[in-house]
Amino acid sequence: MSRVVTIEEPPASSQLPQTRCREKPGASGSVSANRPYDFLYDPLFIVSSEKDHTQANIQANLIRNRLRRVPRFRTMFSNLIHYPRYSLYWSKADPVPAFMRREWKGQEEKHREGLWQLAITDTSFQMAKEVYEDPDVTGKNRYKYFERPFLPFHQHVPFNVVFAATKTQAYTFLPISAKYPPVLSKHTVGTQTDYRDAEVQTDPYSPEYVVCQDSIPELLTLATLTWGRGLPAGQAEVEMIERAREKRAWEATLPCLSDASQFEKRRRMMNAMERKEWAFREQEIEKLQEIRLEVLKELLKKRDENQNEVNMKHLNARWSQLQEAKEAKLAQIQHTHVVAIRKLVGKGRNIEGKLERRNIIKDYSDYASQVYGPLSRLGRFPDNNSEDFVVKNYYLNTYEGLVELESSLPDFVTHPRIRPPKPKVTTTKAGFLKRAARMDHELAEVHKAILDKKNKVLEPKKLLRFLQRKAVPQPRLPTPTLEMSSNEEEDIEMAVIYLQKLLRGRVIQNMMFEGKEKRLELIQELRTSHALQEDDRLLKKAEKQVTLALQRQRNLHEHKVSLVENHLAGLEGRVLADMFDFLSKELVRLQEERRIHAFAMLAERQRRMREAEESGRRQVEQRRLREEDQIFKEVIKVHQSTITSYLEDIILNTEENTAEEQARAEIEKMAEEINDIAYEMESRRTQLQSEEIVAELVYSFLIPEVQKEFVKEKVRNAQRKHILAAHQIIHGHTEDMVKKNFVEQEQDEEVSDTDKSPEEDTQNKNSS
């Protein structure tokens, strides 16, 4: 992020102009949101996964292009493709040093989180305390101890933050005629910090501590809890601390292992504590299961609500579509009905087809007449000269106005988003064709057949290929001539003509009667809705009264029948509801009974499994206790034998030392006595006695030694001749055997040479 640092200096003299602010060019342009290798260097740069770490690494490599262009001197000025001016090569220089780790840092966090979870669940596990390289506030971790001021400024300002009041001064330009620009007293410089300022809660300061010797503070048992992972402590952490205190107090009350009399009591206490821990663990598991069941219920409830909402939306949309179609159909039918009625009313006004004079007063009094709304088929065009009423707008008549209007319009107007229509679903989920789709298909087929029959053109007869018929004009009929001979014939002729007229009129009357009989229902309908004569109106009114009376009677009868049917249906519904209620309750009871039976069987099976596991665990525990008892006995036996041997060694050593001291004392005493006697004899001895002592020594020690050496030499000489004879016998036989072996080897070599010579001769012959 970029920051602006303002440095103010006092003015040098009063002649200088006012303070001027200047921003260093390119200061803000060179600052980016983050740097390419922040994911390796910055400790606050958080990557969510290993995939994002790899993506950031690839992006950094793409931003830091390591491709280099090397010009080719022979084709440096060439523009041809097959003679390029330069070649690309991959630079081996890596901006990241080799000692920097390129792996994702999240693995360590996952490992640390796993250890923390293990430390929470297992109280015996002690997690190593995290040691910071530089825990001082003035070191590299100083950014963790900053305090961000509260914004905006109209709020209460904390006591440890004091803001300086900023004063803005007007900017004044220097005179153009100044020879040297004055020194600026204020500079605006763009800087970038070493660490990114993240508005997050940092870890609180944890000072170093020293533990005194022979003391274990209770607070150190909470060393595994860190900020955000157990701190600040909640209800669960407080319960865990209380359980740890109880366990330590219980461990303090346990008898010692060295006391064999309290061993059974220690075992019973440990068994009770183990059962208590198992019960607590079962309670925790039940709580977790209840929480999971609640979450599952909430999710199921939310899913049902969402499904009901979607179904209601579909039903409302379908209902609105059907209502719109119904309203459109009714409007079309009403419009067709009004048009037909208007036509019939117009024809009924002038049945005889008499011409009427124009009533000017009536035309001008009726605003629907041709005076106010002339029809174009009568030769009047009221839209002539309509351009006089056209609104002339700058935004619609000029190109600049259209461009400005287009720039003010939103994007979806100029670039319409066309959504392809969804295909209409004509089949059900089971794969059958819907009734509406089947009916539409049948109507389309009928409409197509009608159009084909209506637009069917008769095929002309095929002309003859070789012969053509020439049309022969029919001969003109002769013009009849009437010759009147007398008045009687003329009267007869007039009577015949009158008779023909009567016959033709009668035929037309019969045709009209037949047409009336065919369309009698339509005429009756028109008479019921548009009666012209007063008598007809009265007659129709009387018929209407009779019809209404009949309708009322029928409605009363239908109402009575419907009441009876409703009562019967209510009775049937109550009976059926009771029966269905009873059946449903019986079904639910049967299902519940089966489910309870299944639960009982499962519980029995689980109880048996737990009993088997508990018996196996108890056997293992008993075996382990027997092994521990035997080990304890062996250890005690070893201790006793060790103590016995140790005491025996001490006693023997003491006896030996005492005997040695006593022997030394006696020997020293005897030596002193002997020395005193010898000194006294030496003082009293004469020359003759000295010679006798020397002679006894020579006779007792020197002469026997010489005799011993002489006997040894004599025995050695006697054995030497036997040794020489044995050597001669052994070496004589060995020399004979060596010579014999040497002669046999020479003979074998000569035989092998004689065998090889004929073979070589045969090979030479074959080669030649």
Query: Tens digit of pLDDT for each residue in 730-765?
Result: 877 777 788 888 888 888 777 766 665 555 565 555
Residues of the chain with pLDDT under 50: 1-31, 150-180, 197-199
Q: Note the pLDDT of residue 31.
A: 47
Question: Quick one: tokens of 413?
Answer: 């107007």
Are residues 397 and 540 located together in one domain of the fold?
no
Buried b (16+ CB within 10 A) or exposed e, 364-396: eeeeeeeeeeeeeeeeeeeeeeeeeeeeeeeee
Cα 166 to Cα 558: distance, rounded to the nearest angstrom: 93
Last residue of a domain, one of 623, 648, 682: 682
Check whether residue 399 and residue 535 sit in a common domain: no
Q: Is residue 420 part of a domain?
A: no
Cβ count within 10 A of residue 46: 13
pLDDT at residue 754, rounded to an integer: 66
3-class SS of residue 659: helix
* Domain contains 619: yes
Cβ-Cβ contacts under 8 Å for 562 (sequence gap 6 or more): none
Q: Where do we find the tokens 């669960």?
A: 236
Cβ–Cβ under 8 Å, residues 151 and 158: no
CB under 8 Å to 437, separation ≥6 — which residues?
426, 427
Long-range contacts of 221-226 (CB under 8 A, 24+ apart): 223/126, 223/127, 223/129, 224/116, 224/119, 224/120, 224/126, 224/127, 224/129, 226/116, 226/130
φ, ψ for residue 600, nearest 5 deg = -65, -45
pTM of the predicted protein model: 0.24
Sequence-distant (≥ 6) Cβ neighbours of residue 746 within 8 angstroms: none
Do residues 88 and 82 lie in contact, with contact meaning Cβ atoms separated by under 8 Å?
A: no
Half-sphere exposure in the Cβ direction for 748 (13 Å, CA): 6
Domain count, the chain: 3
**Whole-angstrom distance between the N-terminal and C-terminal Cα of the chain?**
100
Indicate whether 151 belongs to any domain: no
Burial of 224 (0-12, 13-18, 19+ CB in 10 A): buried
Return phi, psi of residue 433, to 5°: -80, 135
The residue among 88, 120, 146 that closes a domain is: 146
Residue 672 lies in a domain: yes
In the block, which residue shows the tokens 């057949």? 449
pLDDT for the residue 355: 77
Q: What is the reported pLDDT for 126?
A: 64
Answer for the pair 196, 143: CB distance below 8 angstroms, yes or no: no
Is the residue at 140 inside a domain? yes
pLDDT for 137 equals 63
Please name the helix (run of DSSP H) or strand (run of DSSP E) that holds residue 623, with its range, or none.
helix 534-684
Phi, psi of 574, deg, nearest 5: -65, -45
E strand or H helix that includes residue 569: helix 534-684
* Structure-derived torsion over alpha carbons of residues 321, 327, 329, 330, reported in degrees to the nearest 10: 160
Q: Whole domain around residue 627: which residue ranges? A: 531-682
Asked if residues 31 and 1 have their Cβ atoms less than 8 Å apart, the reply is yes
Q: Is residue 299 assigned to a domain?
A: no
Tell which phi-psi region holds residue 692, choosing left (phi > 0), alpha (psi between -120 and 50) or beta. Answer: alpha
Q: Angle at CA 763, nearest 5°, toward 758 and 765? A: 95
For residue 156, the model assigns a pLDDT of: 45
Report whether 21 contacts 188 (CB < 8 A): yes
Sequence-distant (≥ 6) Cβ neighbours of residue 192 within 8 angstroms: 1, 2, 3, 31
Residue 161 lies in a domain: no
> CA-to-CA distance for 705 and 696, rounded, in angstroms?
14
Distance CA 668, CA 674 (A): 10
Domain endpoint, select from 682, 710, 730:
682
Query: Would you say residue 220 lies in a domain?
Result: no
140-148: list long-range contacts, CB under 8 Å, 24+ apart.
Answer: 143/195, 143/197, 143/202, 144/202, 144/203, 144/205, 145/202, 145/205, 148/199
